[in-house]
Structure 1
Amino acid sequence: MTSSALLSDAWLVIPLYNEGPVIADVVEQARERFPNIVCVDDGSSDDSADRAMQAGAVVVNHPINLGQGAALQTGIRYVLEQTEGEYVVTFDADGQHQVMDAQAMVDLAKRDDVAIVFGSRFLDDRTKPGLMKRIVLKVAVAMTNRSTGLRLTDAHNGLRVIRRDAAAQLRLVQNRMAHASEIVEQLGKTGLPWREYPVHVLYTDYSRAKGQSLLNSVNILVDLLFK
């Protein structure tokens, strides 16, 4: 059971790159539970930054596109240096993550006093990634678990809750898709307690076009091999 109160001690960090058609809705819906949101506009060529700001988010700008890992590091640094937020919630800009899942993950972190909560698409059957994508993601999980020593069921889900003490130890240098494994590795090295939580990732025509294709999953494996 999740609470209905606003989560004022948590900040959503949303990497943002050319998401003008959807970002206002994503921010507005998230602010019903998370009043504090920072979007890191990663060199967008559209009006994403303006739309996010008008919807109520703080916007930090990269002058050029640096990649999702760099955007996450910038957003996390903003929360740590500019706010007193206790929790960082990494959240995608394309509408595939569910606010209720993020809220439940923060509630879990508080209730069980854990520093990290990883969202997992594979702890229940709500998410429908398709057979080939599921296979590729499972291979990526196996590779990440082998390199990190953790035992996750989903290593490349962008929905995570990270307590301030854990977030302060992150130094992401992998700007592209390999950052997803890097963040797991660095969080694992903190030795702080963690959990997984079942989440529903909603794949739409829009999110697939923005990078949730099978090809993108293969690119994750390539990045893992050659990072």
Structure 2
Amino acid sequence: MTILIPSYEPDERLITLIHKLKEAGDDAILVIDDGSGADYRSIFDEVEQAGCTVLTHRINQGKGSALKTGFDYVRQLAQSDGVVCADSDGQHLPGDILRLSEAVREHRNHIVLGSRQFTGKVPLRSRIGNSATRMIYTLATGRPIQDTQTGLRGYSSDMLDWLCQVPGDRFEYEMNMLLEAPRVGYPLVEVPIDTVYLDDNKSSHFRPFADSARVYFPFLKFSASSGFAAILDFILLLALQWLTSNLLISVIGARICSAIFNYSVNRKYVFVKGKGQGTAIRKSLPRYFSLALIIVLLNYGMLHLFHESLGISLIAAKLVTEASLFMLSYWAQRTFIY
């Protein structure tokens, strides 16, 4: 087993963690210096002297890039039965890291998550951030997990090719990985670990606004695409209703036009998979419009209920309907279509 530790501008806690891991077991330890600079060279020199391998980025490239560098190195060696990733700031206890190593050996082809339980004194930004990403992940995938932001994760060696291909170079990489895993068939296993925050998590390099935007970027892209499609659908619905006075024709006509727009944008910009776009189109196009048909039927049924049966105004009924179907559409598109 290889223990992979990405590190940017570490302090003595990295050295302490290394020594404790060396005392507890004989796993190989790989540390990635993610462009920390000359001021931190002495710390990484001491890490090497302790028997670890250190790979260095010339400039800071982000946590996702550091993890990929480590995964690629382990993949090329082809000597490890798996990788456990841990943070360098002392928030992951050596005992928990070793327990995750055992879980990786027991659960091949699974992503093993060291899940914090968030009991006791937890910094407010960490509690809010984890609650928000946990809710969004559950809505997007239909699968609840306890800790979406944990940096303590384990993978079997046959997952390394895929791990090197997951998009993202910074903190968004770990969320992208969780979103991609169900699609490629990697289940998640959670192992409870202790929740440790030192000095209110001041050592974290996570930037609340910039990095949160990166983490939520997949949802923001989908929201923007859906938002423009909804505006188009809304305008066409009102126009067709005014022209025909027929709700069914108005709903179907508006949805066909907005669906064509939404599919084109999502395929090209939102759920980008890289190579093999021709094959993706042949598979995704009929699936998308099958989903669109289901959404149309649900859309019409809900509009009929709210507008014609309950007497709610068409505008209010439309807003409630679209909000209700938004996350259903995201989950279905990520899971089954793209």
Q: Which position in structure 2 is the counterpart of 1:143?
A: 136
Structure 1, unpaired ranges of 5+: 1-9
**Deviations for 1:2-50, whole angstroms, at most 9, x for unmatched residues?**
xxxxxxxx10111011114222111111222243010011111212321
Q: Partner of 2:258 in structure 1?
A: none
Could you tell me whether the CA contact under 8 Å between 1:133 and 1:217 is conserved in 2? no
| Structure 1 residue 107: Cα displacement | 1.9
Q: 1:211 to 1:87 in 2, by over 3 A?
A: same
Q: How does 1:172-191 map to 2 (within 5 A)?
A: 172-191=166-185
Is 57-66 or 41-50 further displaced after alignment?
A: 41-50
Amino acid at match of 2:27: P
Q: Is the 8 A contact 1:69 1:172 kept in 2?
A: no
Name the structure 2 match of 1:120. 115
Q: Which consecutive residues of structure 2, in runs of 5 or more, have no partner in the other structure?
A: 219-338
Partner of 2:59: 64
2:2 and 2:141 mapped to 1: Cα distance?
26
| Helix, strand or coil at the partner of 1:119 | strand
User: Residues of 2 paired with 1:208 and 1:113: CA distance?
Assistant: 32
Comparing 128-137 with 83-92, which one deviates more in the overlay? 128-137
- Determine if contact 1:90/1:160 at 8 Å carries over to the other structure: yes
Aligned partners of 1:136 and 1:218 also within 8 Å? no
Higher relative contact order, chain-length normalized (CA < 8 Å, sep 6+): 1
1:42 matches 2:34: yes
Please give the residue correspondences for 1:21-40 in structure 2 after superposition, counting only pairs within 5 Å.
Answer: 21-31=12-22, 32-40=24-32
Aligned to 1:201: 195
How far residue 95 of structure 1 moved from its aligned partner, in angstroms, is: 0.8
2:216 counterpart letter in structure 1: L
The structure-2 alpha-carbon separation of the partners of 1:162 and 1:149, relative to structure 1 and needing over 3 Å to count, comes to farther
Q: Does structure 2 conserve the Cα–Cα contact (< 8 Å) formed by 1:11 and 1:34?
A: no
TM-score of the aligned structures, taking structure 2 as reference length:
0.57
Q: Give the CA deviation at 1:114.
A: 5.4
Cα distance in structure 1, aligned partners of 2:141 and 2:79 = 30
Q: Greater share of helix residues, 1 or 2? A: 2
**Structure 1 partner of 2:85:** 90
Q: Verify the 8 A CA contact 2:5 2:31 in the aligned structure 1.
A: yes
State the structure with more CA Rg. 2
Deviation of 1:90 after TM superposition, in Å, equals: 0.6
Aligned to 1:102: 97
Identity of aligned residues (%): 27
Report if the CA contact (8 A) 2:8-2:34 is conserved: yes
SS at match of 1:136: helix
TM-score, normalisation: structure 1? 0.83
Please give the root-mean-square deviation of Cα atoms over the aligned residues, in Å. Answer: 2.3
- In structure 1, the residue matched to 2:160 is 167
